[in-house]
């Protein structure tokens, strides 16, 4: 079956807005990434087992996921660009709470607050990036994703050289990142409002405002949307095994130091930024379906080999795996947006929220299994997760602008 997608009339992306959104995404996800980055510290300080570590990830990701579809649904009807500032306020509160938590329940509360902040940020920022794309949706989402992926990668690196030497309380130093993000969010919200006014008056790139295309009934596209969510779940579950347990895997199997394990986690997560931008740009040229298939078939051989390699090849393969797997995120998100035009916030909420929430559940389950089976066994099991992506066979083929 073919699905026809709307053709964007404005061809010039609003780059200052996209870059500002990317930077705020970087700062938002930097704060998020500090949670798993401190796991080796708090595991010892609070005598936690892997199940409790997984529960922290679950708390953060579930709190980040539950509100996102609701926020997206509401902001599709009534855009609220300044709500991002409120979301960052929650993240700031959670970050300070994590820095000075004196018990395990307070750690969970701090993680939940950071998750709530994320749930407010992502749907609205996704909608704003789409509006500022000028029809270059893959490029816009790629730029937006580069910020998030870079921020996620910087967390372990900063933890290795700032938090590990200075302790849990040094998390509070990153409050500066939240404050900078708030300033950028206020500017971006104002610029986004101006872009919206120009679009209303038909002044974007000298073009008339396109007629809104009604979204098809949810029932007609539900199977395709469900497959896309499952695809993201398989990727996020695999990524969760790294963000939560990779440092313990490296320390346990190869005997590396905590700082070395954090640097290797940075390399794994850092490759996501290049993959997201590459996949977004290439998806505009060759089509979403091809990028999705590349991310599945390209990564699977490497994930299957990873548990059986030495330290050097473990580092090399993790970079290759995440480079390939992250290339599909923008394609999957835009694919869903084109299936459900006019519901950008809802799509962003579901795909950032639900898929990451499911990834959090996976992290909690993996933590319990790691306590029973051992961390190395978990990585052998997780090596098969990308095979779930073969469900992409059942996706309808999008007929996109510039493609037959």
pLDDT of residue 292: 83
Burial 262-297 (b: 16+ CB within 10 A, else e): bbbbbbbbbbbbbbbbbbbbbbbeebbbebbbbbbe
User: Over 80: is that where the pLDDT of 195 sits?
Assistant: no
pLDDT of residue 106: 94
Query: For 360-372, how does the pLDDT look when each residue is reduced to its tens digit (9 = 90+)?
Result: 677 778 888 888 8
Burial of 208 by CB count in 10 Å (0-12 exposed, 13-18 middle, 19+ buried)? exposed
User: Over 50: is that where the pLDDT of 76 sits?
Assistant: yes
Q: Return the minimum-mean-pLDDT range out of 162-166, 178-182, 265-269, 330-334.
A: 330-334
- CA angle at residue 94 from 89 to 100, to 5 degrees? 130
User: Over 80: is that where the pLDDT of 393 sits?
Assistant: yes
- Of the pLDDT bands very low, low, confident and very high (cuts 50, 70, 90), residue 391 is confident
User: Over 90: is that where the pLDDT of 307 sits?
Assistant: yes
Query: For 126-161, how does the pLDDT look when each residue is reduced to its tens digit (9 = 90+)?
Result: 888 888 877 777 778 778 878 887 888 787 788 878
The candidate with the shortest Cα–Cα distance to 156, out of 239, 96, 243, is 243
Query: For 202-244, how does the pLDDT look when each residue is reduced to its tens digit (9 = 90+)?
Result: 444 444 444 445 556 666 688 888 888 788 878 878 887 887 7
pLDDT of residue 90: 95
Q: Return the minimum-mean-pLDDT range out of 79-93, 255-269, 283-297.
A: 283-297
Query: For 240-269, how does the pLDDT look when each residue is reduced to its tens digit (9 = 90+)?
Result: 788 778 888 999 999 999 888 888 888 887
pLDDT of residue 4: 45
- Of the pLDDT bands very low, low, confident and very high (cuts 50, 70, 90), residue 12 is low
Q: Which ranges of 209-257 would DSSP assign to H, the alpha helix?
A: 218-254
Q: What is the mean pLDDT of residues 79-89?
A: 90
pLDDT of residue 342: 76
pLDDT > 90: percent of the chain: 22
Q: What is the mean pLDDT of residues 59-82?
A: 81
Mean pLDDT of the residues in the chain: 81
Query: Is pLDDT larger for residue 363 or for residue 85?
Result: 85
Query: Is pLDDT larger for residue 303 or for residue 280?
Result: 303
Give whole-number Cα distances, 368 to 37, 137, 173, 280, 382, in Å. 19, 40, 32, 35, 14
pLDDT > 70: percent of the chain: 86
- CA angle at residue 79 from 78 to 81, to 5 degrees? 150
- Please give the domain boundaries of the chain with CATH numbers for all domains: 10-398 (1.20.1250.20)
pLDDT of residue 28: 93
The pTM assigned to this predicted structure is 0.69
- Of the pLDDT bands very low, low, confident and very high (cuts 50, 70, 90), residue 404 is very low
Q: What is the mean pLDDT of residues 72-99?
A: 89
Q: What is the mean pLDDT of residues 337-343?
A: 81
- Of the pLDDT bands very low, low, confident and very high (cuts 50, 70, 90), residue 316 is very high
pLDDT of residue 113: 94
Instruction: Say how far apart CA 34 and CA 163 lie, in whole Å.
Output: 9
User: Over 90: is that where the pLDDT of 184 sits?
Assistant: yes
pLDDT of residue 218: 60
Q: Which ranges of 306-349 would DSSP assign to H, the alpha helix?
A: 311-326, 329-339, 344-348
Count other C-beta atoms under 10 Å from residue 43's C-beta: 17
Instruction: Say how far apart CA 80 and CA 188 lie, in whole Å.
Output: 12
Q: What are 397's strand-pairing partners?
A: 2
Q: What is the mean pLDDT of residues 86-114?
A: 93
């Amino acid at each position: 079956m073919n699905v026809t997608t709307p053709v964007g009339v404005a061809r010039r992306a609003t780059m200052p807005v996209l870059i500002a959104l990317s930077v705020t995404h970087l700062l938002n996800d930097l704060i998020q990434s500090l949670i798993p980055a401190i796991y080796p510290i708090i595991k010892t300080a609070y005598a936690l087992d892997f199940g409790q570590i997984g529960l922290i990830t679950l708390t953060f990701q579930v709190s980040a996921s539950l509100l996102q579809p609701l926020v997206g649904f509401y902001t599709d009807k009534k855009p609220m660009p300044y709500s991002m500032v409120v979301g960052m306020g929650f993240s700031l509160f959670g970050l300070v709470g994590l820095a000075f938590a004196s018990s395990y329940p307070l750690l969970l509360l701090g993680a939940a607050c950071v998750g709530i902040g994320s749930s407010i940020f992502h749907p609205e920022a996704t909608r704003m990036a789409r509006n500022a794309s000028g029809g270059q949706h893959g490029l816009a989402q790629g730029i937006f994703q580069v910020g998030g992926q870079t921020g996620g990668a910087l967390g372990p690196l900063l933890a290795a050289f700032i938090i590990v030497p200075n302790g849990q309380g040094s998390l509070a130093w990153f409050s500066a990142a939240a404050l900078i993000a708030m300033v950028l969010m206020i500017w971006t919200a104002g610029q986004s409002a101006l872009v919206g006014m120009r679009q209303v008056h038909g002044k974007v790139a000298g073009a008339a405002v396109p007629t809104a295309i009604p979204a098809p009934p949810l029932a007609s596209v539900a199977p395709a949307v469900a497959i896309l969510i499952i695809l993201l779940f398989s990727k996020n579950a695999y990524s969760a095994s790294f963000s939560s347990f990779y440092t313990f895997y490296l320390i346990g199997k190869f005997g590396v130091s905590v700082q070395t394990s954090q640097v290797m986690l940075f390399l794994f997560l850092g490759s996501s930024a290049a993959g997201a931008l590459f996949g977004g740009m290439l998806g505009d040229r060759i089509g979403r379906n091809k990028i999705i298939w590349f991310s599945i078939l390209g990564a699977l051989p490497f994930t299957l080999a990873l548990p059986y390699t030495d330290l050097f090849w473990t580092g090399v393969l993790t970079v290759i795996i995440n480079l390939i797997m992250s290339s599909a995120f923008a394609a999957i998100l835009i694919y869903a947006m084109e299936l459900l035009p006019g519901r950008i916030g809802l799509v962003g909420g579901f795909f950032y929220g639900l898929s990451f929430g499911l990834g959090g559940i996976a992290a909690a389950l993996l933590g319990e299994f790691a306590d029973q089976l051992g961390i190395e066994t978990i990585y052998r099991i997780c090596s098969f997760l990308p095979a779930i992506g073969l469900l992409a066979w059942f996706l309808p083929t999008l007929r996109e602008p510039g493609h037959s």
